[in-house]
């Protein structure tokens, strides 16, 4: 599924990376710990987090993630937006809480790392 399709299906608001919405989303990862995302997320994953600071951009770019979804209507900080635009990292915003958003991602066929390994 493409990031653009996820954005439409989940009513996500695009804050950065509008030109990267054709990216294929290969999986999902939900965490608020940078070290956890660095250790566990895979290239092509969409990352669900409540973090809004600029370090999320560095992690997403390093891991080659499809994009970042901020939950609960949180908005990225100004410097985060600048860095995301420079690094071409899509940031989208959802009004949903994390639990509900992840459930909806799952319903749309987006699976986590363990599900990929198990062939689900």
Q: Where are the domains of the chain?
A: 3-113
What confidence tier does 31 reach under pLDDT thresholds 50, 70, 90?
Answer: very high
What confidence tier does 32 reach under pLDDT thresholds 50, 70, 90?
Answer: very high
Helix ranges (DSSP H) in the chain: 3-9, 34-40, 55-63, 78-87, 98-107, 113-118
Helix (H) or strand (E) holding 12: none
* Cα separation, 108 vs 95, whole angstroms: 18
Q: pTM for this structure?
A: 0.93
* Cα separation, 42 vs 54, whole angstroms: 20
Helix ranges (DSSP H) in 48-111: 55-63, 78-87, 98-107
Q: Rounded mean pLDDT of 63-75?
A: 98
Q: Rounded mean pLDDT of 105-119?
A: 76
The CATH number of 3-113, from 3.40.50.150, 3.40.1390.10, 3.30.70.20, 3.40.1390.20, is: 3.40.1390.20
For tokens 């999320």, the residue is 56
Listed range (13-22, 44-53, 106-115) with the worst mean pLDDT? 106-115
Q: What is the mean pLDDT of the chain?
A: 94
Enumerate residues 6+ apart whose C-beta is below 8 A from 88.
Answer: 17, 19, 20
What confidence tier does 116 reach under pLDDT thresholds 50, 70, 90?
Answer: very low
Residue 118 has pLDDT above 90, yes or no: no
Question: In the chain, count of helices (H) and strands (E)?
Answer: 6, 5
For tokens 């560095």, the residue is 58
């Amino acid at each position: 599924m493409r990031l653009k399709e996820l954005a439409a299906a989940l009513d996500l608001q695009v804050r950065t990376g509008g030109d990267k919405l054709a990216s294929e989303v290969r999986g999902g990862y939900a965490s608020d710990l940078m070290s956890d995302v660095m250790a566990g997320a895979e290239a092509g994953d969409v990352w669900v987090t409540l973090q809004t600071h600029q370090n999320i951009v560095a992690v997403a770019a390093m891991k080659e993630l499809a994009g970042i979804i901020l939950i609960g209507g949180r908005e990225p900080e100004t410097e985060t937006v600048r860095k995301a635009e420079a690094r071409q990292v899509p940031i989208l915003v959802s009004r949903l809480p994390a639990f509900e958003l992840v459930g909806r991602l799952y319903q749309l066929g987006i699976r986590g790392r363990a599900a990929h390994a198990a062939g689900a």
